[in-house]
Amino acid sequence: MSSAPRPASMGAIPSGARGCGMAPMDAQRALPGSQLPAAEAARTSNFKLLGSLLLFILGVAAAEMVTTYLHPQAGMGLHGAILVGVILYSALCLRGAAQKLLYTLALAPLIRLVNLSMPLAQFQLSYRYMITGTPLLISAVLAWRLTGFRRESMSLSIGRGWPVQIPVALCGLGFGWLEYHILRPQPLAQSFSLDHLWMPALILLVFTGFLEELIFRGLMQTAAEPVLKRMGVVYISLLFAVLHTGYRSAVDVVFVFLVGMFFGLVVERTRSLAGVTLAHGLTNITLFLIVPFL
């Protein structure tokens, strides 16, 4: 899983939309000159924002399909257009929680643009995760500063719920074994020896385990919670799965969605990324470095 969860209504969206045809979501008053009651204007704004979020994830899915099955350069163009559109829309048309969510979602097309644009052919497969992950880590930190989230709200407290975090982390071994039998990838190491395994394992732990959980469960899920309520976990898990289209396996996309839901629910309940970070890293270590040699 390297690129890279309760039922509720998605209609309860807090204040945050403005301009661009979207009325302020203030239940106490309507727009000057508007004939719509305040409640109806708020509902209209909610639906428009939900439509924008749906359009975003459909656009990312379409860009992934084009990149994977048709033309990588055309896919890059689509991802680039989505990235620019999200940034402009969030800057010009949104405020508050909705704006923060769109800012974090911009990391999704950025992930693919970085992966596609960097010259990686001359590097070993395991080092490619570090090379592409470094600018993404910087981007994630910048997005964190832009949103102003506190460390605790992003579930970065490592000391919480260790009786739960340890078994969650060990789930990664099973997830990696299952995903190997879906994808059957080539190993990322030359041989099953400590000299050849420790560096790729460390890279996978940091640049897929920690980095992807920081982006999806730390930033995106934190931003989605006040906007989409409990459906935020589902939305971010779906986006996480869509970005695995490049493995050319519909079964893997479904598998990653289910794992993303599990990770999202764990973070929602424990308010810590520790267990899912280790689980994500162990999934990829098992997938790429252990099971291929068995």
1 inside domain: no
49 inside domain: yes
What is the predicted pLDDT for the residue at 252? Answer: 98
d(CA 17, CA 238): 24
26 inside domain: no
What is the predicted pLDDT for the residue at 17? Answer: 53
pTM as predicted: 0.87
55 inside domain: yes
Q: Which two tokens stand for residue 285?
A: 């270590």
What is the predicted pLDDT for the residue at 12? Answer: 42
16 inside domain: no
User: Which residues on adjacent β-strands are paired with residue 94?
Assistant: 17
20 inside domain: no
27 inside domain: no
Grouping H, G, I as helix, E, B as strand and the rest as coil, residue 162 is helix
What is the predicted pLDDT for the residue at 35? Answer: 52
d(CA 174, CA 205): 16
Residues of the chain with pLDDT under 70: 3-36, 41, 159
What is the predicted pLDDT for the residue at 53? Answer: 97
> What is the number of structural domains in the chain?
1
What is the predicted pLDDT for the residue at 36? Answer: 53
21 inside domain: no
Q: Which of 224, 250, 256 is nearest to 237 (CA)?
A: 256
Burial of 51 (0-12, 13-18, 19+ CB in 10 A): exposed
Burial of 18 (0-12, 13-18, 19+ CB in 10 A): middle
Structural domain that includes position 104: 38-293
